[in-house]
A and B are shown apart, each in its own frame.
Chain A
């Protein structure tokens, strides 16, 4: 049943931009506003948001996570750090990562 809805009505998640639009709905944005916000941040038009070919290339260019598994691109929390920066919204797991890596750990990275 879930697959039915994903195919018939869903934005496509990481195949396209569904996770990004979802993040704006988590900020109480209705769907049209959320789509416009994400499109503006990505520098595309709203119709592009569910274009899987265009979004696959754009997601790689922005390094915000892609649906397939190419080595070297941002994965998991790495991609979410970049998404939080791109969309200009806080992401709870990214904030936690920053707390966990503050202090001694972050100074070690700088060496």
Chain B
């Protein structure tokens, strides 16, 4: 009996029979379809996924002609970073790292980003961020984004000035929790605009709002408002990458352009992101560590396919650690990483990763 070597969502090795593989692919796709009320993958797509996972080579690749554009959150920080985000601790300046991604790794685009990769800590260092972008624009040929996370959690106590809704909600103080989220969202929006306008002034090609809505619907609203203003007032190309597949309703009553934000799935998120004026959308689907990688990849493909079909702008599926079917593991299994990317392109119909 054929045995297929793959991984669980936590990166540990697992062997599946062909029947078990197909069972997991169907179950993952049906889970996404049931939750978001979208079509599951059809029989042809399930068989295509089965072929991708059953291919005996260590790594897989898209068919010639199906190559896609790569954008990258976290930028060259991956090279000099520490254990967090799978950084490998190479003693390179980020300017050098950007050139390595352009010249040695053949990346299609790259980013400048603060080591913390959040807008709040980048704001007081805007002059340094501008200087790095200016110099990198002189040196590089590939398009360069500035990348950062909205990360609204940094605005709540003990890390920020506003009361923490996670303290207020368990006490039933709903209105206070909503008010503090709106106050934090307004400050976040202003900080994002401050950084983005500074970056636009020095000739950046674009800006990447990464891991958007990690703190729920209020963070999503702040980001959409910032995107709307930047689209109207700058020449920046704007990418909005999400934190996970569902916008959590920590506030619950917020809307943008007439659409309630809480509870939006990727195929609905892309519509509001387009309405705000963004140029690229990055759907994210969180990996379930207790399920197999085939289950997770099929689930991610189902969400991303619905999103790609609904979109009018390019869709760059998030496929880093813990999203897009990629295991949540510090050292990534290349067999699954490559298969997840191929699947999101060829079955999820993504325009990029």
Chain A residues proximal to chain B, CB less than 8 Å:
1-16, 18-19, 21-23, 25-31, 34, 46-47, 50, 64-65, 67, 75-77, 79-80, 83, 90-93, 95-97
Contacts and interface: CB of A to CB of B under 8 A. Distances in A.
Nearest to A69: B103
B279 interface: yes
A65 B353 CA distance: 24
A78 B230 CA distance: 27
11 contacts: A4-B341, A8-B341, A10-B106, A12-B106, A25-B314, A30-B314, A67-B106, A76-B137, A76-B140, A92-B204, A93-B205
A1 B320 contact: yes
A92 B201 CA distance: 9
B338 A8 contact: yes
Given A4-B59, A5-B70, A25-B280, 19 more contacts: A1-B332, A2-B78, A2-B101, A9-B67, A9-B68, A10-B67, A11-B69, A12-B106, A14-B102, A18-B70, A18-B108, A25-B351, A28-B279, A30-B314, A31-B352, A47-B65, A83-B141, A92-B205, A93-B204
Q: Nearest 4 pairs between A and B by C-beta?
A: A18-B108, A26-B237, A93-B203, A96-B203
B140 A12 contact: no
Contact of B72 (A2, A29, A64, A83): A2
Give the residue among B66, B68, B105, B108 with the most A Cβ atoms within 10 A: B108
Interface string B62-94: 101111111110000010000000100000000
A5 B70 CA distance: 8
Residues of B in contact with A, size category: 35 or more
Interface of B: 59-62, 64-72, 78, 86, 101-103, 105-109, 137-143, 200, 202-206, 235-237, 279-280, 311-314, 319-321, 326, 332, 334, 337-338, 341-342, 345, 351-353
Nearest to B278: A28
B334 A4 contact: yes
Contacts of A11: 67-70, 108
Q: Which of A5, A7, A64, A79 has the most CB of B within 10 A?
A: A5
B157 to A, nearest CB: 34
A88 B320 CA distance: 33
Given A4-B59, A25-B352, A47-B65, A31 B314 contact: yes
A26 B143 contact: yes
Contacts of A90: 235
B201 to A, nearest CB: 9
B342 to A, nearest CB: 6
Contacts of A77: 137-139
B235 A92 contact: yes
A12 B280 CA distance: 19
Contacts of A18: 67, 69-70, 106-108, 142
Given A5-B70, A92-B203, A14 B351 contact: no
